[in-house]
Amino acid sequence: MKKLYSLLLFALLLSCNNQNQQNTEQVSTVYAEDSQYTIETSQSSITWTGRELSTSYHYGTINLLSGQFEVSNGIILNGEFIVDMTSINNQDMEGDRKARLEGHLKSDDFFSVDAHPTALLSIQESQLISEGKWNVTANLTIKG
């Protein structure tokens, strides 16, 4: 599960595009010049998708508290993103079902948000795949 979340998390961060299953906007390529980049948290969120054993899925968003990464010679050298686990928001349900799922994800069954309100994604290295696209290796720390 951690690998799935880290892959989704980073792919969405780099695309800087809020997409969910109902969004049909075309993804544009992100070009990054050598620099230190800081995430605009007020304009950014992570879109997540999760699957149940029954093969049904749910999706929603989660906010970032902070984030930065460094690009040098076309490669992402390092970076760190702090995720606000308290902001888990389900977008495919309403009412009691929505509240129940969000509460379940925040409970000790999943992310233990009361004890661990943040998660950390630390970029370790990357490889350039094509202009504006990288294969990134990162460590995801959830629940400490």
Average pLDDT over residues 108-120: 96
Angle at 53 between CA 6 and CA 138, to 5 degrees: 10
C-alpha–C-alpha distance, residues 130 and 127, integer Å: 9
pLDDT score for 27 = 58
CB 16 within 8 A of CB 32: no
Q: What is the average pLDDT score of the chain?
A: 83
pLDDT bucket at 56, cuts 50 / 70 / 90: confident
How many CB atoms within 10 Å of residue 120?
A: 15
Which letter does DSSP use for residue 69 in this model? E
Can you read off the two tokens belonging to residue 139? 């460590």
Residue reference for tokens 């992310």 = 111
- Interatomic CA distance for residues 142 and 111, integer angstroms: 7
Residue 28 pLDDT class (50, 70, 90 cuts): low
State mean pLDDT over 103-116. Answer: 96
Taking CA 60 as the corner, what is the angle to CA 56 and CA 61, rounded to the nearest 5 degrees? Answer: 155
Distances (CA, A) of 70 to 38, 39, 77, 123, 140: 9, 11, 6, 10, 18
Model-level pTM? 0.73
Q: Tens digit of pLDDT for each residue in 115-127? A: 999 999 999 999 9
